[in-house]
Amino acid sequence: MDNIVLKLSSHTLVLLLFLSFEPVVSSRHRQYWGHGKKLMSSGDNSDLVTGLPGQPQVDFQHYAGYVTVNETNGRSLFYWFYEAMTKAEEKPLVLWLNGGPGCSSVGYGATQEIGPFLVDSDGQGLKFNNFSWNREANMLFLESPVGVGFSYSNTTSDYEQLGDDFTANDAYNFLHNWFLKFPSYRTKTFYIAGESYAGKYVPELAELILDRNKDMSLHIDLKGILLGNPETSDAEDWMGLVDYAWSHAVISDETHQTVKKSCDFNSSDPWHNEDCSQAVDEVLKQYKEIDIYSLYTSTCFASTANSNGQSVQTSMKRSSTMMPRMMGGYDPCLDDYAKTFYNRPDVQKALHASDGHNLKNWSICNNNIFNNWGDSKPSVIPIYKKLISAGLKIWVYSGDTDGRVPVLSTRYSLSSLALPVTKPWRPWYHDNEVSGWFEEYQGLTFATFRGAGHAVPCFKPSNSLAFFSSFLLGESPPSTK
């Protein structure tokens, strides 16, 4: 997931997001795939993953390795790609991005949320995810920018330039060079999806593709974007965070009233107001007592080291960096297990991240990237307008128990678009139960997931797969039982 660190330094709050979580599939839902499927077998065979420790038997191919995005600087991004479980040649390609900035899409999205293999609780193996999104699409996970996960640059100055634009350009170059490895996917229908701070990554990359598609030799068949609990617009995100904390009894009436009275989140520096700064400090202080990413689940109290080498308890008290975890048997300490798994020599060798001897130091989030992030657009709402005008499909969803990018933040941000409603607010169903509510606008669909935290697929794996399927099919989520 992405780690979110809430910084208030010299009363300058940086609204950047991480996220993480671990989907765990009960044993009665696990299944291992047999034989006889038609495979595309169109990838770079040198990147084909074989002998991955603890991997369940499956009947699709998957690839991992590096794509160079800048030859001069020696800048390379790491990816993990899973062909669709069935009829891969007929299904679209979806790029998934986690945010941070600084967190791994491999460590979170691929092996805690929506990929076919989930890191097991001992950090030594993998379990099959019966609700993997590669049931419906060919799934590509990217560790971006350099410094995240296994991605790297041989030029140290690259790490001093990291920001939104840098990341979008490298991701764009990655795609074109990846298509050289996988030419049969170049003309496929393409979507971009992501969570949290990827709420900025995804539309920014989509805009770049849209602009450069004017050169038909560079054309990518982008059809839409899918965003979960996304950071969208700083002012609205902060207002939503505070209002949500108050409406869910995390903060007092007095703190809420002080924020409403003294904070102008639309100003370039709302923190110059001391009353505002202290009130927001109080909001963050109260959230450190629980899991801001999942209001109603437990936090990790293990004494084992987390991904930053600190004890988990210390990290929780100091910066609330641990991500939300799941109800119903989910382990709130899964980040530790991911670190154990991806730092194994045999795992790195199988994923072509190292030769098995000269190990890479993999961490699920890189706090140096987060703390030194260069440019962050205050709002991507103007990009939404541009993408809507271009006819791209945009779906946004919110787990309604997330306090970090709460449903109110997203509703406030989207309301600024002032889009005409085409189908009014109503429940959507999965397995004959209300899964959430949704509304359709001219150019955009917004939906909630009832009882889900920041990384929705971890809380609602079956529901999120059904929702993803509706998105790809261009159908409304089921509005009847």
Q: Is 394 exposed, middle or buried (0-12, 13-18, 19+ CB in 10 A)?
A: buried
SS3 60: coil
196 is annotated as an active-site residue:
yes
Q: What is the torsional sign of CA 408, 447, 118, 181? A: negative
- Site of tokens 């109260």: 286
Point out the catalytic residue in the list 105, 196, 307, 464. 196
Burial, 425: exposed, middle or buried (Cβ in 10 Å; 0-12, 13-18, 19+)?
exposed
* H helices present in 100-184, as ranges: 164-181
237 is catalytic: no
Pick from 332, 416, 352, 331: which is nearest to 382 by CA?
416
* CA distance between the termini of the chain: 32
Of 234, 454, 464, 470, catalytic: 454
Structure tokens at 367: 């706090």
310, β-bridge pairs:
none
CA angle 256, 259, 261 (to 5 degrees): 110
Please calculate the CA angle 142-139-381 and round it to the nearest 5 degrees: 65
At 396, list the tokens: 């946004």
Long-range contacts: 298-304, Cβ < 8 Å, 24+? Answer: 298/325, 298/332, 299/325, 299/332, 300/325, 300/332, 300/333, 300/335, 300/336, 302/333, 302/336, 304/333, 304/336
Residue 454 a catalytic site member: yes
Residue 299 DSSP code:
P
Write b or e for each residue in 300-321: b if 16 or more Cβ atoms lie within 10 A of its Cβ, otherwise e.
beeeeebbbeeebbebbeebbb
Task: Give Cα separations from 149 to 6, 19, 146, 152, 179 (angstroms).
Answer: 21, 14, 8, 8, 22
Place of tokens 């529901």: 463
Which one is catalytic: 402, 413, 430, 470? 402
Q: Are 401 and 295 in contact (CB under 8 A)?
A: yes
Residues designated catalytic:
196, 402, 454
